[in-house]
Amino acid sequence: MTTDATAPWLIVGLGNPGPGYAANRHNVGFMVADLLAGRMGGSFKRAQKAQAQVLEGRVGPMGPGSRRVVLAKPLSFMNLSGGPVAGLRDFYKVPTANIVAVHDELDIDYGTLRLKLGGGDNGHNGLKSMTKAMGPEYHRVRFGIGRPPGRMQVADFVLKDFSSVERKELDYLVDRAADAVESLVTEGLERAQSSYNS
């Protein structure tokens, strides 16, 4: 699927709002979005047309290689992400193929990245809500968090903070995920996959 080179991109970090959730595994999408905002030299502001925080800017090298992006963090809870994302898509006139969801992924080992276009939601409530609102044909940057240990419930696992061992690598891994998002937007899916899919 080709994307319109002049259309903006909508990069959505998925997570739950509020300080109590900030360091949870489920909020790694917010962590990547915050890092990208820092790289863009801006700060999030409340969107007027959707329940989300947004930052408009550019990613990539200055000149024809840079891309106009809207960076977003939905302020709904994770399982209601689709409404705010669809609202931003309509307001900024973003093709669905130019949307990137950055999210945690249980079925991938901790820290492993996988980029793809379309597909199922794999039980992820944020993706389920987005797909219900817009269909499945958006990009995903999947950040592996691994499976819960022992008999721990999935819901408990994703709503817990990263472990002390995981936190030793977390800054590096979030940085690498942000690199992958920028590569996807500026160089295309295939090149980004060859660099970052492991």
Extract the runs of DSSP E, i.e. beta strands, from the chain: 9-13, 45-46, 52-59, 67-74, 99-105, 113-117, 139-144
CA distances from 9 to 56, 130, 174 (A): 10, 16, 20
- Give the pLDDT of residue 1: 44
Mean pLDDT in the chain? 93
pLDDT, tens only, 130-171:
999 999 999 999 999 999 999 999 999 999 999 999 999 999
- 28: exposed, middle or buried (Cβ count in 10 Å: 0-12, 13-18, 19+): buried
Over range 13-33, report the average pLDDT.
96
Euclidean distance between CA atoms 37 and 57, whole angstroms: 9
Which one is predicted more confidently, 123 or 102? 102
Catalytic residue check, 103: no
Q: Are 11 and 33 in contact (CB under 8 A)?
A: yes
| Spatial CA neighbour of 24 closest among 157, 165, 114 | 157
Give, as one character, the DSSP assignment of residue 51: S
- Give the pLDDT of residue 16: 96
pTM of the model: 0.94
pLDDT, tens only, 53-109:
999 998 877 766 788 999 999 999 999 999 999 999 999 999 999 999 999 999 999
Euclidean distance between CA atoms 146 and 26, whole angstroms: 12
CA 83 to chain centre: 16
Q: How confident is the model at residue 198 (pLDDT cuts 50, 70, 90)?
A: confident
- Name the helix (H) or strand (E) containing 175: helix 164-187
Q: How confident is the model at residue 4 (pLDDT cuts 50, 70, 90)?
A: low
Q: How confident is the model at residue 47 (pLDDT cuts 50, 70, 90)?
A: confident
Tokens of 98: 């130019």
- Give the pLDDT of residue 2: 46
- For residue 116, pLDDT over 90 is answered with yes
- For residue 44, pLDDT over 70 is answered with yes
- Give the pLDDT of residue 122: 87
Euclidean distance between CA atoms 123 and 187, whole angstroms: 29
- Residue of 26, 103, 124, 139 with catalytic role: 26
